[in-house]
Amino acid sequence: MTMNLTCRSTSLASRRQQGYGRLLILLVAATLSHISGARQVLRWSEEFKPGCKTTDKFCINGGINLHKFGFDLGDGTSYGPSLIGWGNWQRQCHTNASSNVRVEPFPNNPTDGMLVIQAGYEPSGYTCFNENAPPSTTNYTSARLITRNKATFKWKGAPGNSTPVRIDVRLKVPLVNGTWASAWMLPETNKTWCMACGPYGDGWCLGGEIDIMEHINSNDYLISNVHHGGLPNASWVGCKQTVAVYKNKPKMSDWNVLSMIWDSTYIRFLANGKEYNKITLGKWSTGGSSSPYAPFDVPFYLIFDLAIGGLYPGYKIDNAKVAAGEARFNIDYIRVYDIVP
């Protein structure tokens, strides 16, 4: 918002506008003061400590905690034939095999670990298992880790008078053409047959989507995004998005901390502690409700995945680098905080 502080009109309308401007300044100052005096209280986290006890059936692939995470498997058709390629023509089959998803120790610190989601290339073809749907054949494998029905997140309190939640993810993306690494969120639902169902409708994008981070190919930038809109009888019609770009050319191959701060009245995105995008109340909506807070007023679950191909990265896939194991999406930790006064 741009405020014209040079206006000297003495009209009633102008005086009202100036009054609103002063009120806005005071509100912004109060908000900044409130945030600067706030503290972060850890609500939930995963540090991906390496190692599993042989007796622990809830720990797999070197340290993935099944109390906290599950998997989306297959090519998307488990959620319906229209979702082949996960709705946007991705080429991979998601598995829970250790070759595609595991916890590894850091090379110089064996007591600390990282989640590795690694794509694979199968030139002779890979038979993809799809629950409640026929198998398919693809040349690529990868993984999608989810907290659905295990851990969900949202701001606390009442709409308009809430305590923000902050989600930090320390990650390292692959710089390989054809890859699409994401840390994102969808609304929680107990409808196991539906991937994008929620309280405001069964289908994307009525329930909304929050993209903490997306990266494609060998780009020198990351993006954040929110999706919303849709019509009650046609959830995909009228979908809107708000995209912002974080450029980090010299260090894109390094570790970065991507953050999202979510309140009932705003969603902020940060990279390495620096805000680069903010979406405020009134900038989002859903065809499933007339509430100005919807659809971002219900619990969402976390998703971490590495796709190969798709409408966003395209199909110029570097098969040699995928086959060589360079298509790795690494996550050091996920930490969720309540920001309290």
Report the CATH number at residue 297. Answer: 2.60.120.200
- The answer to whether position 87 is within a domain reads yes
Query: Which token pair is 37?
Result: 């005096």
In a domain, 21, yes or no: no
The pLDDT > 70 percentage for the chain reads: 89
CA atoms of 140 and 313, how far apart (whole Å): 15
Tell me the residue range of the domain where 297 lies.
Answer: 41-340
Looking at residue 36, what is its pLDDT? 52
The answer to whether position 201 is within a domain reads yes
In a domain, residue 246? The reply is yes
User: Tell me, what's the pLDDT at 54?
Assistant: 81
Tens digits of residue pLDDT in 239-289: 999 999 999 877 888 999 999 999 999 999 999 999 999 999 999 999 999
Please state whether beta strands 92-94 and 136-142 pair in parallel, antiparallel, or not at all (unpaired).
parallel
Q: How many domains does the chain have?
A: 1
Kindly state whether residue 34 falls inside one of the protein's structural domains: no
Q: Does any domain span residue 4?
A: no
19 inside domain: no
- H or E segment to which residue 275 belongs: strand 274-280
Q: How far apart are CA 303 and CA 87, in angstroms?
A: 15
This prediction has a pTM of: 0.88
- How would residue 26 be classed by pLDDT, with cut points 50, 70 and 90? very low
Q: Are 142 and 150 in contact (CB under 8 A)?
A: no
- Judged against a pLDDT cut of 50, whether residue 125 lies above it is answered with yes
In this structure, the strands spanning 201-202 and 197-198 are antiparallel
Strands 165-172 vs 328-340: parallel, antiparallel or unpaired: antiparallel
Read off the pLDDT of residues 284-332 as tens digits, 9 standing for 90 and up.
999 999 999 999 999 999 999 999 999 999 999 999 999 999 999 999 9
258 in Cβ contact with 215 (< 8 Å)? no
Mean pLDDT, residues 76-92: 94
The C-alpha atoms of residue 301 and residue 260 are separated, in whole angstroms, by 13
Residue 89 lies inside a defined structural domain of this protein = yes
